[in-house]
Amino acid sequence: MSGFGSSHLSRRAALAAGSGALAALVVRPAQATTQTMQAAIDAFTGGAAITQGKVTMDIPPLVENGNSVPLTITVDSPMTDEDFVKTIAVFNERNPQPNIGTFHLNARSGRAFVSTRIRLGDSQSIVAVAQMSDGSLWSGSVELIVTLPACVEN
Amino acid sequence: MARALINVPPKAKRGEVIEIKTLISHPMETGYRPKGDGSFFPRDIIQKFVCTLNGEEIFRADLYPAIAANPFIAFTTVAREGGLLVFSWTDDRGEAQMESAKLVVE
Amino acid sequence: MTVRAAQGILALVCLLASSALAQTTDSRRSGFEDMSPQSQALQKDDTANPGMLSVLDGEALWSTKAGSAGKSCADCHQDATTSMKGVAARYPAFSTEHNRPLDLQGRINACRETKQQATPFAWESKELLALSAYVGKQSRGMPITPPDDPRLEPFRKRGEALYSQRLGQLNFSCANCHDDNPGQKLASAVIPQGHPTGYPLYRLEWQSLGSLQRRFRGCLVGVRAEPYPYGAQEYVELELFMMSRAKGMQVETPAVRP
């Protein structure tokens, strides 16, 4: 029997074996790229300028399972009738499609807050763009590492 | 009818910001899952989620296949008046499921 | 090393360990401890735990009349929050009618067949999982209490032997991973000790609720063995052994696991 103990199998070898086996088993759909993500962001913003800031994403940087990743987005905004977040659009870099979700808030939302669970097909960046009531655009992003579980089920 | 679980605080003070949590049973089939014979399970997702209070929209979400199965969505609203919260989830075929809950504001 | 020799050494070690310390520490860990804080939070939040959707379905099924007898579970068992308290914690249990142990799903289906005169639910069906989740949840927080029933012993022993039996093309036994290497990584996932504390559970990998049998089958496929069919007696015996191995640990149903 092949040496299974951790002393014999280096971590790199185990990772390579795991991901290699996975690639052999799974037919990979075409992945989104940084360009398709940018195109999707442009479609949302109409090409207008985005300022980095105000948008915070709470998501585990090391993802346990890409099938279900908790994501909470908050935006620094007073959420008054005069100044509130209208829309939060979330994008990803390497899933088959660049969009994750678009959330529509309003002046009575109380807090610029939304929480959900998303799917991540690979280690990648995700970007959230918030459009304010005055039309200005703000964004935040995170870099994530997605580890896949060991036994891929039949 | 898919099973839905809605969590609204039992009572809210006027002006208080409350959090509403929703969870619905749905596979959110991405369209990218291989069947094993070369074909894929066809896409079947919830596309839209809307919450209204007394008929007025207080939250809306456009969902994509990247939203995890059994979608969980939580959001906030200012408790201005009590009334009927109506939640609706609409899928790719345009079929909608609605649930409701009472909001009590004092 | 033979199983007997290993057992002998284990017994000796346990004897030495327990005599050496006035108070032994329980080194058993639930898979809950091996999860990320986010998954732990998900399991603990009844308003977000996807397994609760199945529990709600089970609650509805509990009161649904079925079969030619036109009876619901509630007709015999009344309020599950009382009558089912502690039940999942002491399963698998011996069935006199079947002259062998049944797991909880087997018991539910046996009731369906004999008392409700209805077709048993298919293995791993949404309904069977929902009822097991609902009944299981009534034991949540309670210690696993295998029945003190001598009739179970030969079956438990077979389960114990299966646990240490090398299987599949990879030639691993359950013990190789879950006794010898818990806490180590298997292709970036932490190997748990493998205590069935929270079944049926919502596995992120499955994106749905699933039974312990489904997990067993996943492991068997993982070592490249032909899995026993759903409902196989081997699974009941293995669960019987694993529940005795997990004696005293808390039931977590419906758990969440990656």
The pLDDT of C27-51, averaged and rounded, is 96
Q: Which residues pair with C138 in a beta bridge?
A: none
> Is there a contact between A4 and C172 if contact means CB atoms under 8 Å apart?
yes
C88/C14: higher pLDDT: C88
- Read off the pLDDT of residues C177-228 as tens digits, 9 standing for 90 and up: 999 999 999 877 899 999 999 999 999 999 999 999 999 999 999 999 999 9
- Enter the tokens of residue A38: 């940018």
Cis peptide bond N-terminal to C182, omega within 30: no
Q: Which residues pair with B75 in a beta bridge?
A: A114, B20
DSSP string, A19-81: HHHHHHHS-PPPPP-HHHHHHHHHHHHTT---EE-SEEEE--SEES-TT-EEEEEEE-----S
pLDDT at residue A33, rounded to an integer: 74
Measuring CA to CA, which residue among A88, A91, A90 is closest to residue A109? A88
pLDDT at residue C6, rounded to an integer: 67
Q: Which residue of A has its CA nearest to B67?
A: A118
Q: How far is CA B16 from CA A109, A119, B51, B79, B80, in A?
A: 11, 32, 18, 5, 8
Distance from CA of A2 to the nearest CA of C (A): 8
- Read off the pLDDT of residues C106-157 as tens digits, 9 standing for 90 and up: 999 999 999 999 999 999 999 999 999 999 999 999 999 999 999 999 999 9
A69-75 β-sheet, strand order? A55-58, A69-75, A113-118, B72-78, B17-24, B4-7
Mean pLDDT of chain B: 96
- DSSP character at residue C89: G
Q: Which residue of B has its CA nearest to A73?
A: B75
Q: Which chains touch A (3 or more CB pairs under 8 A)?
A: B, C
- DSSP character at residue C94: E
pLDDT of residue A14 exceeding 60, the answer is no
User: At the topology level of CATH, where does C51-137 sit?
Assistant: Cytochrome Bc1 Complex; Chain D, domain 2 (1.10.760)
Is any Cβ of chain B less than 8 angstroms from the Cβ of A31?
no
- Read off the pLDDT of residues B35-50 as tens digits, 9 standing for 90 and up: 889 888 999 999 999 9
Kind plus residue range of the DSSP H or E element containing C32: none
pLDDT at residue A10, rounded to an integer: 47
CATH dotted code for B4-32+41-103 = 2.60.40.10
> Is there a contact between A29 and B32 if contact means CB atoms under 8 Å apart?
yes
CB B41 within 8 A of CB B31: yes
- Read off the pLDDT of residues B46-66 as tens digits, 9 standing for 90 and up: 999 999 999 999 999 999 999
Q: Interface of chain B against chain A, CB under 8 Å?
A: 17-19, 21, 30, 32, 34, 38, 57-69, 71-78, 80
For strands B4-7 and C93-95, give the pairing: unpaired
> Is there a contact between A116 and B73 if contact means CB atoms under 8 Å apart?
yes
Number of helical H runs and strand E runs in chain A: 2, 9
> Is there a contact between A109 and B69 if contact means CB atoms under 8 Å apart?
no
Q: Quick one: residue C231, left, alpha or beta (phi over 0 = left, psi -120 to 50 = alpha)? A: left
CB C106 within 8 A of CB C237: no
Q: What is the CATH number of the domain that holds A100?
A: 2.60.40.2470
ipTM summary value: 0.96
Residues in chain B: 106
End-to-end distance of chain B based on CA atoms, in angstroms? Answer: 33
Q: Which residues pair with C208 in a beta bridge?
A: C203
Measuring CA to CA, which residue among B48, B51, B56 is closest to residue B94? B48
Domain count, chain A: 1
Domain boundaries, chain C: 29-46+143-257, 51-137
CB A122 within 8 A of CB A94: yes
The pLDDT of B84-98, averaged and rounded, is 97
- Enter the tokens of residue C24: 């032994």
The residue from C73, C174, C177, C219 that is catalytic is C219
Expressed as residue numbers, the domain containing A90 is 31-146
In sequence order, which residues have a C-beta less than 8 Å from that of residue C188 and are 6 or more positions away? A14, A15, A18, A147, A148, A149, A150
Establish if A9 belongs to a structural domain. no
- Read off the pLDDT of residues A46-103 as tens digits, 9 standing for 90 and up: 999 999 999 999 999 888 899 999 999 999 999 999 999 999 999 999 999 999 999 9
Establish if A24 belongs to a structural domain. no
pLDDT of residue C60 exceeding 80, the answer is yes
Q: What is the three-class DSSP state of C42? A: helix
Kind plus residue range of the DSSP H or E element containing A133: none
If 0-12 CB within 10 Å is exposed, 13-18 middle and 19+ buried, where does residue C80 land?
buried
Q: How many CB pairs under 8 A join A and B?
A: 96
Q: What is the three-class DSSP state of B92? A: coil
C-alpha angle A113/A119/A122, rounded to 5°?
A: 120
- What is d(CA C205, CA B8) in angstroms, rounded to the nearest whole number? 29
Mean pLDDT of chain C: 93
Give the homologous superfamily in CATH for domain C29-46+143-257. Answer: Cytochrome c-like domain (1.10.760.10)
Q: What is the three-class DSSP state of A15? A: helix
